[in-house]
Amino acid sequence: MKSLSKTKNLNSIFSDSNSKNFDNIFIFVKIGQSMMDTLISIGDTLKTIRENKGFPLQEVADQTSINYTSLSRIENGKRLPTKNQVQNLALFYQCSEQELIKQLISDKIISEIKSEDFGIEGFHLAEQKLRFGNIIFSDYDNLEKFELQSRRYIGNKAKLTNWIMKIIDKETKQRGTFIDIFSGTAIVAKSAMAKYKKVILNDILYSNEVTYNAFFKHQKWNKKNIVELINHYNSLDAKKIKANYFSKNFGSKFFEKDVAKLIGYIREDIEKKKSELLLNEKEYSILLTSLIYTIDKLANTVGHFDAYIKKPIKKKPLNMRLIQTEDFKGAEIYREDSNILVKKIKGDIAYIDPPYNSRQYSRFYHIYENLIKWEKPKLYGVALKPDPENMSKYCTVQAKNTFRDLVNNLDVKYLAVSYNNTYKSKSKSSANKIKLEEIQEILEEIGPTKIFQQSHKYFNAGKTDFNDHKEYLFLTKKNTK
């Protein structure tokens, strides 16, 4: 007699598609069809329960109004019970209806596999659909969302933020206005929001501005409508969508061709809904940012768009997910040249983390810039870039003088400046345009400066060997005039 405990073990394999046991359902396929007859069925389970409780089969038939012959055939594995019969038996035996129903479902799956010539292959296909199929959400609050730091971004400070903010907290006193003048991923600005009344965010990229609006802009938005839109986008069939600007340019290069078609279609639809006044600024930004964060996981790149990997792209579904918004009443968002903006604003402390080498962020992330602006420009070269735009002086020989102009014009009490020592790099594109000593010299001209340092693993595309790489933080108390 097969024990009920073994039945329970089998049942647990099929019980929860959202748990780690979900993987076990696919291990089962590897057993092979010849082994299926040895598995414990719902009939075995029902027979074990009945015998353990000491009921004759005829009494069960009389009490449940289930035909004696049907019960016998169910227990012998010659037929499957109906859902209603299982519910009646669970009530009579006073055992878990849920567990028996799950056991019934698993037996139906096995029965289908056994009865078809390509049953195992069909099961493998079901595996792929369950693992990678379209995600459908029920509501915003209970779905898995992208956090701010979920996106790949060169030079992001996610692993250094606690260290940076700890120094700032110790060395400064004011908690009024925090300025993040080169916000990038905005991870430092987000951390500052927990302590400062007002946080100014600025970045020259269109894609970063829309990200800040999505995460931080304080504006009411309709969660239900946004979830419905995401569900609609996740139900789209790429085969029924025509080639578009995005897929014609980036399909089979930066993205798999069907994914590229979906990206182009969704982007066009978001723009259409905004033009029809069906989306406010917050909703529009949330959808665009969610699209960026979703496709960032599917991009055929090493983390930026200076080039794509020249290998066949593995087919995966789009499966859009939403971002986790971090609304902040004190957020003030700009997309301006930092050296111009500092002449218009003031605060207690400015955090400064400019680009230091020749790699232009507007060129690294040209696809996201293109996707957000959606002007569909003509593209050039292997990397399919548009005409240059938003080129930073900090990536040129003008970097030193531009930095001096910035810090002199900042109307703040303190400056915190991040710096890394990649200027020792053998790669010309990685070499810093301002040296460590030059940063220190410029800051000491405007006030007493402390230097802090910490070892840190820097992003490396593979061509440069960074030995003993360090992250520096300069903390300057600006002289009052």
Q: Which pLDDT does position 134 carry in this prediction?
A: 60
Domains and CATH numbers, the chain: 4-132 (1.10.260.40), 153-216+328-360+382-477 (3.40.50.150)
Q: Which of 399, 403, 410, 417 is nearest to 342 (CA)?
A: 410
Lowest mean pLDDT of 53-57, 150-154, 420-424, name the range: 420-424
Residue 77: name the closest of 51, 50, 105, 39 by CA. Answer: 39
**Beta-sheet pairing, 414-420 with 198-202:** unpaired
Q: How confident is the model at residue 426 (pLDDT cuts 50, 70, 90)?
A: low
With beta carbons less than 8 A apart as the criterion, state whether 478 and 409 touch. no
d(CA 481, CA 379): 50
3-state secondary structure of 201: strand
* DSSP bridge partners of 346: 411
CA neighbor of 265 nearest in space, from 245, 295, 249, 294 = 245
Specify the pLDDT at position 453. 92
Alpha helices, DSSP H only, in 387-477?
399-409, 436-446
Q: How far apart are CA 385 and CA 365, in angstroms?
A: 10
Distance CA 5, CA 322 (A): 41
- Count of CB atoms situated within 10 Å of the CB of 469: 16
Is the pTM higher than 0.75? The answer reads no
Residue 420 predicted with pLDDT over 90: no
Half-sphere exposure of 297 (CA within 13 A, CB side): 13
Q: Per residue in 300-341, pLDDT tens?
A: 998 899 999 998 898 888 989 999 998 999 999 999 999 999
pLDDT attached to residue 357: 81
Mean pLDDT (the chain, rounded): 86
The burial of 468, by beta-carbon neighbours within 10 Å (0-12 exposed, 13-18 middle, 19 or more buried), is given as exposed
CA distance 60 to 91: 11
The highest-confidence range among 102-106, 136-140, 468-472, by mean pLDDT, is 102-106
For residue 302, the model assigns a pLDDT of 87
- Cα(88)–Cα(70) distance, integer angstroms: 14
Tokens in use for 114? 């056994």
CA–CA dist 332, 213 (Å, integer) = 9
Q: Return the structure tokens found at 301.
A: 């790149």
Tell me the Cα Rg of the chain.
Answer: 30
Q: Which amino acid is at 449?
A: T
Nearest to 417 by CA among 430, 407, 431, 405: 407
**pLDDT over 50 (residue 138):** yes
Q: Rounded to whole angstroms, how far apart are CA atoms 86 and 80?
A: 10
